[in-house]
Amino acid sequence: MSIITINSDSIITDIDSHFKVSAGPGAGKTYWLVNHIKNVLHNSDKLFRTRKIACITYTNIAVETILKRLGTSAEHVEVSTIHSFLYKNVIKPYVSFVAEEFGLNVAEMDGHDDIVLSNYSFLNDWKTKTGQQRIRDDNTIIKAFTNLKWKFENNELKAKTDYPFKVGNYAIKNDSYLEYKKMMWKKGLLHHDDVLFFSFQIINKFPFVINILNAKFPYLFIDEFQDSNPIQVEIFKKLGLGESKIGVIGDIAQSIYSFQGADYTQFQNFSFQNMNEYILNENRRSSDEIIDALNDVRKDISQVKVRNISTEKPIIFIGDMILALRAAKIKCNDESIYTLSRNNITSNAMKAEINGIGLNSRLLENLKETDSTTKRSNLIYACIKAIAYGKEGKFNDAIKELEKLFNYRADKIRGKRKALKYITLLLDKYSEFENSSLFDFAVFIRTNLVSDLPNFKTGAIKTFYDSHTFKQLLLCVSIPEDMSSHKTDQSQKLCAN
């Protein structure tokens, strides 16, 4: 089937066929998607009070953007991230069907998180159950758990880590990762990745769930599809083989979530019988000179100029990033400067105008690996992350990070109050420790927050705390959905359309 060229104002009359839309940067794909949703709402005979359009995107800010653009039409559309969609529509109503098989404590289940249990008794219990008592380095085990992902292997989902973890002559057994998962599930704890795992298991074992989802959502549209991982794609395929009409929108050149298992070829190869394919080949954002540069870089989509605005040719600064930033500020006079970085530590360094040479993006993780006193390392780790979130106005994220320190599952209000007390004090007194060593920051925490925080005097731990600054570790924090003028390529995509 031939690919049909459209623009962001195009209205597709065939609303009851699967479709795929490829779009380059600045093509207005979110604008087109919102208008297509309105078109379906106006013309479809498959939507009733209890039947909605499902729209999946990959960040909470993107969800808010689409909802805002939909306006009053939003009440007939369920817009959410993939994890929120599956948790609400698959996990909560049906996970009890598979809970016994996998040892999931449904009564204790309360959402999903990226928490990794790392206390001594938990790790010791895991070693005993898996027969790996000879592994003494708990930090290596924690690092392995942190890097766990569900992956397809021989048509089955298996818990795998991206790195071969060895401690001396002993390797962590692959089969023992599933035991870690089961121990988490027994406590009612789900990782984000587990939402995909359980959704896949439920849909595979109980096909009627697909029928229910098809009836509830006759249309399912997925934005940024190039960032879907294989588990998500399999779930979408199963929904599309039922009665739901699937629409996917993406750009293979903007795939940035490979670290989460995303593979842009999933978008290229995704297909259903009689699927319509479209291409948005206009660029409504950029100047002619920038579009020319883009067309020189990529050949799969040749973008058409819409604004026909000519400006100066793009200038490329090479060398020291802070000197380049300052040169750009001079060149742009009083205009706002925006930067796009490959990783979070570089983005954060640009905000602080600190040279990125020699920065170690793993320092925050090294803290936990070096400091084996869990209470101290977990507290300082959480406080640093919470401060970074709070300084960017992400107070909910800051409180959530600190809540992990308190085991108040039966009294969540108490935990939130304590977390609020912590972050308020840390931000109020920020000037007292912002230029201090990590050791001095630990002293501040002991003096102002936790008086019984374990102390240390000599050794590798003391050396680590003395030889690194608080600010060095602060730069390592990944800001969720960063909307500042200095972004990573992940957060930049939020403003692309």
Q: For residues 448 and 493, which has the higher predicted lDDT (pLDDT)?
A: 448
- Return the pLDDT at 44: 94
Q: Is 27 annotated as a binding residue?
A: yes
Whether residue 331 has pLDDT greater than 60? yes
Among residues 126, 159, 188, which one ends one of the domains? 188
User: Residue 10 half-sphere exposure, CB side, CA atoms within 13 Å?
Assistant: 18
Q: Is 24 annotated as a binding residue?
A: yes
Among residues 188, 218, 252, which one ends one of the domains? 188
Among 20, 30, 23, 33, which Cα is nearest to 277's?
A: 20
Whether residue 420 has pLDDT greater than 90? yes
Same domain, 380 and 469: yes
Tens digit of pLDDT for each residue in 43-61? 999 998 789 999 999 888 8
Asked, for residue 373, whether it belongs to a domain, the answer is yes
Per DSSP, the three-state class of 377 is helix
Among residues 221, 249, 280, which one ends one of the domains? 280
Q: For residues 201 and 293, which has the higher predicted lDDT (pLDDT)?
A: 201
Q: Is residue 349 within 8 Å of residue 320, measured between CB atoms?
A: no
Whether residue 163 has pLDDT greater than 70? no
Tens digit of pLDDT for each residue in 180-227? 999 999 999 999 999 999 999 999 999 999 999 999 999 999 998 888
Percent with pLDDT over 90 in the chain? 44
- Return the pLDDT at 264: 63
Same domain, 466 and 374: yes
Arithmetic mean of pLDDT over the chain: 85
Give the mean model confidence (pLDDT) for residues 264-287: 87
Span of 7-16, 149-158, 487-496 with lowest mean pLDDT = 487-496
Please give the C-alpha separations between residue 252 and each of 262, 267, 416, in angstroms, as whole numbers.
11, 7, 41
Same domain, 202 and 85: yes
Asked, for residue 156, whether it belongs to a domain, the answer is yes
Distance (Å, rounded) from C-alpha 235 to C-alpha 468?
A: 45
Whether residue 492 has pLDDT greater than 50? no
Same domain, 138 and 240: no
Q: Is 26 annotated as a binding residue?
A: yes
**Binning pLDDT at 50, 70 and 90, where does residue 410 land?**
low
Give the mean model confidence (pLDDT) for residues 452-475: 86
- Return the pLDDT at 491: 44
Same domain, 258 and 212: yes
The count of structural domains within the chain is: 3
Asked, for residue 453, whether it belongs to a domain, the answer is yes
Distance (Å, rounded) from C-alpha 452 to C-alpha 450?
A: 6
Give the mean model confidence (pLDDT) for residues 10-32: 92
Same domain, 466 and 414: yes
Entry pTM: 0.76
Strand-pair category, 53-57 with 219-222: parallel
Q: Which domain holds residue 169?
A: 116-188
Q: Is 168 annotated as a binding residue?
A: no
Phi and psi based region of residue 411 (left: phi greater than 0; alpha: psi -120 to 50; beta: remaining):
beta
Asked, for residue 169, whether it belongs to a domain, the answer is yes
Same domain, 158 and 12: no
Provide the 8-state DSSP code for 106.
G
Distance (Å, rounded) from C-alpha 315 to C-alpha 367?
A: 40
Q: Is residue 19 within 8 Å of residue 278, measured between CB atoms?
A: yes
Same domain, 78 and 204: yes
Distance (Å, rounded) from C-alpha 159 to C-alpha 162?
A: 10
Give the mean model confidence (pLDDT) for residues 140-168: 80
Whether residue 485 has pLDDT greater than 60? no
Tens digit of pLDDT for each residue in 248-257? 998 877 655 5
Q: How many CB atoms lie within 10 A of CB 302?
A: 12
Residue 238 belongs to a domain with what CATH number? Answer: 3.40.50.300
**Interaxial angle between packed helices 208-216 and 192-205, expressed in degrees from 0 to 180 and rounded to the nearest 10:** 110
- Return the pLDDT at 260: 55
- Return the pLDDT at 214: 96
Q: For residues 49 and 164, which has the higher predicted lDDT (pLDDT)?
A: 49
Q: Is residue 90 within 8 Å of residue 84, measured between CB atoms?
A: no
Asked, for residue 465, whether it belongs to a domain, the answer is yes
- Return the pLDDT at 244: 94
Same domain, 149 and 207: no
Q: Is 25 annotated as a binding residue?
A: yes
Same domain, 66 and 205: yes
Same domain, 388 and 468: yes
Give the mean model confidence (pLDDT) for residues 160-182: 80
Asked, for residue 150, whether it belongs to a domain, the answer is yes
Asked, for residue 299, whether it belongs to a domain, the answer is no
Same domain, 153 and 246: no
> Six-digit token pair at 305?
């100029």
Whether residue 11 has pLDDT greater than 60? yes
Whether residue 320 has pLDDT greater than 80? no
> Six-digit token pair at 48?
């009733």
- Return the pLDDT at 496: 38
Span of 64-68, 80-84, 185-189, 358-362 with lowest mean pLDDT = 358-362
Among 385, 367, 366, 365, which Cα is nearest to 376's?
A: 367
Q: Is 28 annotated as a binding residue?
A: yes
Asked, for residue 258, whether it belongs to a domain, the answer is yes
- At CA 88, angle to CA 83 and CA 93, rounded to 5? 130
- Return the pLDDT at 486: 47
Tens digit of pLDDT for each residue in 394-407? 899 999 899 888 86
Q: Is 314 annotated as a binding residue?
A: no
Percent with pLDDT over 70 in the chain? 88
Q: Which residues contact 378 (CB under 8 A, 6 or more apart)?
A: 118, 368, 405
Tens digit of pLDDT for each residue in 438-459? 999 999 999 999 998 888 777 7
> Six-digit token pair at 43?
């013309």
